[in-house]
């Protein structure tokens, strides 16, 4: 990309050839004589400086815009995995989560610092959770998700393929370990509506999960991995499953839980009723609840902006440094004394 700009001269296509052998087109003749018209870019200091400058000038504004976009996002992060465990169980959280007799209800209070404009997105964030583990990633059957029980070749779903001799729909570890914490938000005793529709990518919903496929024999085993599904709702409508099944790239990930369609005003206090069902205590994973607004660039992530800014600044800085260097210690272009055979003569 940069080099194209460095072209100094392009040979004219109209090179006159007095003779070229018959049977060969002129282009082929030039090819065999290795004389194709070419541009020969040379990365001279001037070009280096110019390219750095252009890159810098390009990236600094982009970085600024990105940073601004990221800054304009209001985000509230609430970690609740530790706080939600009763004091008595703090030393043995696994026992707490596995004991179905203990209520998992947990109330947290969130203070809104800044005005948040609707829609406000509710995410949960898990840490140290390897959704990208090879065993986990492949333990699913996309065909079954689309076609349901008709589809029999579900061996990839092991070890969650059959239960009691009957196939499981949806099969596989991914579905089995479905996240099942739930959140309700109460503002001044009024429960806020959380829209849990339209949280999955449309392509997944329409093409990867069947409209006529209903959960079957799901979460009936001796070991319960996670959330259960309503057997009367087709998979294509089970959006939390669809979201969950788009496995994350990194062991720390966020997934969309729902959307609050009302504005939150600064100094509002929200009461969150959490059903802390999901076991992340076995492997020491964190759980976080996130409320955030979005803009054209997405959520709060200053990385792109900072990266652009830093790149731009470094480029401009280098351009200036090189320009100074060029003024102070210019290397004459095409100085024959720099050729090694000439240098040797100078020394001796």
**Rounded to the nearest whole angstrom, what is the least distance from the CB of residue 299 to other proteins in the complex?**
4
Tell me whether residue 267 or residue 328 sits nearer to other proteins (CB atom).
Answer: 328
Q: Does residue 254 touch other proteins according to CB under 8 A? A: yes
Q: Does residue 296 touch other proteins according to CB under 8 A? A: yes
* Apex 62 CA angle, 58 and 65, nearest 5: 150
DSSP 13: T
Contact flags string 255-274 toward other proteins, x per CB under 8 A: xx--x---------------
DSSP 218: T
Q: Work out which of 180, 226, 260, 264 binds other proteins, going by CB under 8 A.
A: 226
- Among the listed ranges 84-92, 227-235, 264-272, 300-308, the one in contact with other proteins (CB under 8 A) is 300-308
- Among the listed ranges 101-109, 185-193, 263-271, 310-318, the one in contact with other proteins (CB under 8 A) is 310-318
Q: Does residue 303 touch other proteins according to CB under 8 A? A: yes
**Rounded to the nearest whole angstrom, what is the least distance from the CB of residue 273 to other proteins in the complex?**
22
Which is nearest to 145 in space by CA: 242, 224, 255, 226? 242
Q: Work out which of 43, 118, 166, 265 binds other proteins, going by CB under 8 A.
A: 43
DSSP 193: P
Q: Work out which of 78, 148, 169, 177 binds other proteins, going by CB under 8 A.
A: 177
How many angstroms separate the CA atoms of 297 and 198, rounded? 19
Check: CB of residue 254 under 8 Å from CB of residue 290: yes
Tell me whether residue 56 or residue 215 sits nearer to other proteins (CB atom).
Answer: 56
Q: Which residues of 265-286 are buried (b: 16+ CB within 10 A; e: fewer)?
A: eeeeebbbebebebbbbeeebe
How many angstroms separate the CA atoms of 255 and 199, rounded? 9
Tell me whether residue 159 or residue 267 sits nearer to other proteins (CB atom).
Answer: 159
Tell me whether residue 33 or residue 269 sits nearer to other proteins (CB atom).
Answer: 33
How many angstroms separate the CA atoms of 102 and 106, rounded? 11
Q: Does residue 236 touch other proteins according to CB under 8 A? A: no
Q: Does residue 100 touch other proteins according to CB under 8 A? A: no
Q: Does residue 48 touch other proteins according to CB under 8 A? A: yes
Q: Does residue 41 touch other proteins according to CB under 8 A? A: yes
Other CB atoms within 10 Å distance of the CB of residue 105:
10
Q: Does residue 159 touch other proteins according to CB under 8 A? A: yes
Q: Work out which of 53, 67, 186, 304 binds other proteins, going by CB under 8 A.
A: 304
Q: Does residue 108 touch other proteins according to CB under 8 A? A: no
**Rounded to the nearest whole angstrom, what is the least distance from the CB of residue 188 to other proteins in the complex?**
25
Check: CB of residue 244 under 8 Å from CB of residue 179: yes
Q: Does residue 17 touch other proteins according to CB under 8 A? A: yes
Other CB atoms within 10 Å distance of the CB of residue 77:
13
Q: Which residues pair with 117 in a beta bridge?
A: none
Count of positions on this chain that bind other proteins (CB under 8 A): 120
One-character DSSP codes across 223-292: S--S----TTS-GGG-HHHHHHHS--SSSSEEEEEEEE-S-B-TT-EEEEEEE-----TTTT--EEEEEE
Q: Does residue 110 touch other proteins according to CB under 8 A? A: no
Q: Work out which of 99, 198, 228, 269 binds other proteins, going by CB under 8 A.
A: 198
Q: Does residue 45 touch other proteins according to CB under 8 A? A: yes
Q: Does residue 99 touch other proteins according to CB under 8 A? A: no
Q: Does residue 26 touch other proteins according to CB under 8 A? A: no
CA distances from 60 to 64, 70, 302, 312 (A): 6, 15, 14, 5
How many angstroms separate the CA atoms of 239 and 222, rounded? 26
């Amino acid at each position: 990309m940069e080099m194209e700009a460095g072209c100094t001269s392009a040979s004219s296509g109209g090179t006159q050839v007095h003779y070229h052998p018959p049977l060969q087109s002129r282009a082929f003749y030039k090819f065999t004589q290795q004389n194709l018209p070419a541009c020969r870019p040379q990365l001279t200091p001037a070009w280096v400086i110019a390219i750095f400058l252009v890159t810098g000038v390009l990236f600094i504004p982009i970085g600024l815009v990105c940073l601004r976009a990221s800054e304009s996002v209001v985000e509230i992060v609430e970690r609740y995995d530790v706080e939600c465990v009763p004091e008595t169980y703090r030393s043995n959280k696994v026992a707490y989560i596995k004991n179905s007799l203990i209520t998992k209800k947990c109330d947290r209070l969130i203070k809104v610092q800044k005005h948040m404009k609707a829609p406000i997105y509710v995410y949960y964030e898990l840490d140290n959770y390897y959704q990208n583990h090879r065993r986990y990633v492949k333990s699913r059957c996309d065909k079954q998700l689309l076609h349901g029980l008709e589809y029999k070749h579900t061996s990839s779903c092991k070890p969650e393929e059959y239960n009691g001799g009957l196939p499981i729909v949806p099969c596989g570890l991914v579905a089995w370990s479905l996240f099942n914490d739930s959140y309700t938000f109460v503002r001044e005793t009024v429960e806020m509506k959380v829209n849990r529709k339209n949280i999955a990518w449309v392509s997944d919903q329409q093409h990867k999960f069947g409209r006529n496929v209903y959960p079957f024999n799901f979460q009936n085993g001796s070991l319960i991995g996670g959330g259960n599904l309503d057997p009367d709702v087709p998979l294509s409508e089970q959006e939390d499953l669809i979201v969950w099944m788009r496995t994350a790239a990194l062991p720390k990930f966020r997934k969309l839980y729902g959307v609050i369609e009302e504005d939150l005003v600064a100094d509002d206090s929200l009461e969150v009723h959490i059903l802390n069902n999901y076991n992340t205590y076995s492997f020491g994973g964190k759980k976080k609840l996130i409320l955030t607004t979005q803009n054209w660039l997405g959520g709060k992530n200053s990385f792109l902006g900072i990266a652009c800014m830093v790149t731009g600044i470094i480029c401009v800085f280098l351009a200036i440094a090189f320009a100074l260097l060029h003024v102070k210690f210019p290397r004459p272009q095409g100085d024959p004394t720099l050729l090694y055979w000439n240098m040797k003569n100078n020394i001796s």
